[in-house]
Amino acid sequence: MNRENLIKLIILIGVLVFFLAGSRIKAEQMKVICTEGNCQKPHDHGELNFHERFHVEPEDHFGMAFLKSCANFWEANATGMTFAVIIGGAALSLHLSWKEFERVVAFRGVKGAALGSVFGMPLNMCANCSAVTGVGLTSQGGSPEATLGVILGGALLNIIGIVTMFSLFHPAVIISRLVFSAILIVGIVPLVSRWVVKQENLQAKEPALNLISCYLPENSFPQTVLKTFEDWLIAIGNIAYKLIPLMLIGTLLTALFRVLVPNEVLHEVVEYNPLMVIAIISFIGTMLSVPVLFEILLGTMLLQLGFSNGAIAAMVFTAPSFGLFTLVLTRQKLGGIKVPLVLIGITFLFGIGAGLLAEFLTTYL
């Protein structure tokens, strides 16, 4: 590894540590406090949203409810999305100049999905933000397995979230989520990635990215540092230019579903047939796009409303997983809408499976 790549790696790790220490861990602590019933701003909560600056009232007409939901979603994800672009830019810059790293993110099959999930785990991001980082990192040659691994690893293998759930829910709920998360990442991701035609996966290199190159030996150390930061800014600009419009489209779709599925739905389905309840909760969770660890708050709310462990397991698996927002962001990387739609369908079915497994394990644990 030359000096330029070493500096880029330090920048990547430094930005990630700053994000975790300055924002993510604090946000996660707030959510844990809320699950314990000690939230300082309970009036800011919506049942299907962690924070609602603009409360959607029953008397709001569709247009107003839609605009409020858009604003609430964007505000809840603004910090994570911003850092996702910055971290993705640092990773892309390193990818384009360090051949060994480029080779790793191009791994296919189970190895690519597993390594991608390992890269995603320390991000401590929801699927929405992980998608920005994952797509940015692999936009110039990384495999679809690595892209999906980063997204799902960041969303489903969050260590803080898993530990927190053990203190709140029945073990059957956590076991079900871990089992189906593992199957999704190392089983389904390599399978569906085969459907991404190689020519579709390759994207033309942006002209601006040609300015990112390996360290030139004749440059001095200060020039190397300056060139490194220049590469980083170019990569950030490239990711922002391509993904921010898609992020806005994803926000619109997510807000639309939020308006069509008001809070009252949860109160109405609690007495339905158990299998129907699990299917409905799995569908709602799949369509939702929630901030990091918010699935735990949703699970706690279901617990308080009297839902079974199966319904809770379906929610905590599907809500942070692949959904509408990630569909929009990954469509180009995955060669069209086919693979993202299949992943959404599998997420829904796996949510039902996780719910049924949790119900089964509850009788033995």
pTM for this model (two decimals): 0.82
**Sequence ranges of the domains in the chain:** 3-362
CA–CA dist 298, 261 (Å, integer): 14
| pLDDT given at position 46 | 52
**pLDDT for 45:** 53
Digit-by-digit pLDDT tens for the chain (365 residues) are: 677 888 889 999 999 888 888 876 776 676 666 666 666 555 555 545 555 677 777 788 888 888 888 887 777 777 778 888 898 888 888 888 888 888 888 899 999 999 999 998 888 787 888 888 888 888 777 899 999 999 999 889 988 788 888 888 999 999 999 999 999 999 999 999 998 865 444 454 555 565 565 545 456 777 778 888 888 888 888 888 878 888 788 778 777 877 777 666 777 787 788 899 999 999 988 987 777 677 887 888 788 788 899 999 999 999 888 888 888 888 888 888 999 999 999 999 999 999 999 999 998 88
Q: Which of 346, 345, 283 is nearest to 315 (CA)?
A: 283
